[in-house]
């Protein structure tokens, strides 16, 4: 009897950016289509000046609620939008500037949001970073689980206040 291999689940990605990241976000949408990742675009939708916290929040809430599996956020440096994304409980966002950082951000930190800096990283490298980040699993190493649990504890303590 012929066996049908189950299709591997591809993450649904929430994507968002400010004006500085708009061009890179559009490239990311093409990349997602080409590689078979479903995405939801949370804006912004032009290069007109706007504020990165709006999009960091929208993307991180979509991930924290389970609407999307992972998030990718883009601003000029990746710093401001990652700070904003990290304010949502349950979000571990990391700005990555090369593929090693992207792999480690998944293996060690189990990041669920990737931040990119459109004024720092050229688009081809950014797409390599995205690929590495999406394809790398959390290592489930004991020490990494412990450290992530410690972060969650901080979050829970502070949210109770
Ligand atoms: C916008 O000019 C810029 O400040 C923003 O994209 C980002 O780099 C902030 O961290």
How much is the pLDDT for 6?
61
CB 13, CB 73: distance < 8 Å: no
Closest Cα to atom 6 of ligand 1: 76
Measuring CA to CA, which residue among 85, 55, 84, 74 is closest to residue 118?
74
- pLDDT tens for 81-107 read 999 999 999 999 999 999 999 999 999
Measuring CA to CA, which residue among 69, 92, 72 is closest to residue 11?
69
- pLDDT tens for 120-156 read 999 999 999 999 999 999 999 999 999 999 999 999 9
How much is the pLDDT for 161?
79
55 lines ligand 1 (CB under 6 A): no
Q: Where are the domains of the chain?
A: 12-160
- pLDDT tens for 16-30 read 999 999 999 999 999
Task: Return the CATH superfamily for domain 12-160.
Answer: Sugar-phosphate isomerase, RpiB/LacA/LacB (3.40.1400.10)
Catalytic residues: 75, 108
Q: Which two tokens stand for residue 56?
A: 């960091």
Closest Cα to atom 9 of ligand 1: 80
54 lines ligand 1 (CB under 6 A): no
């Amino acid at each position: 009897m012929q066996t049908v291999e189950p299709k591997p689940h591809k993450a649904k990605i929430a994507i968002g950016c400010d004006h500085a990241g708009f061009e890179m976000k559009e490239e990311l949408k093409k990349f997602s289509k080409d590689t078979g990742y479903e995405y939801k675009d949370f804006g912004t939708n032009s290069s007109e000046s706007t504020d990165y916290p709006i999009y960091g929040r929208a993307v991180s809430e979509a991930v924290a609620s389970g609407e999307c599996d992972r998030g990718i956020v883009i601003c000029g440096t990746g710093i401001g939008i990652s700070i904003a994304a990290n304010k949502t409980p349950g979000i571990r966002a990391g700005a990555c500037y090369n593929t090693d950082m992207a792999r480690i951000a998944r293996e060690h930190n189990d990041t669920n949001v990737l931040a990119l800096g459109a004024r720092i990283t050229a688009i081809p490298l950014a797409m390599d970073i995205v690929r590495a980040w999406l394809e790398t699993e959390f290592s489930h190493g004991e020490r990494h689980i412990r450290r992530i649990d410690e972060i969650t504890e901080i979050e829970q303590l502070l949210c109770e206040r």
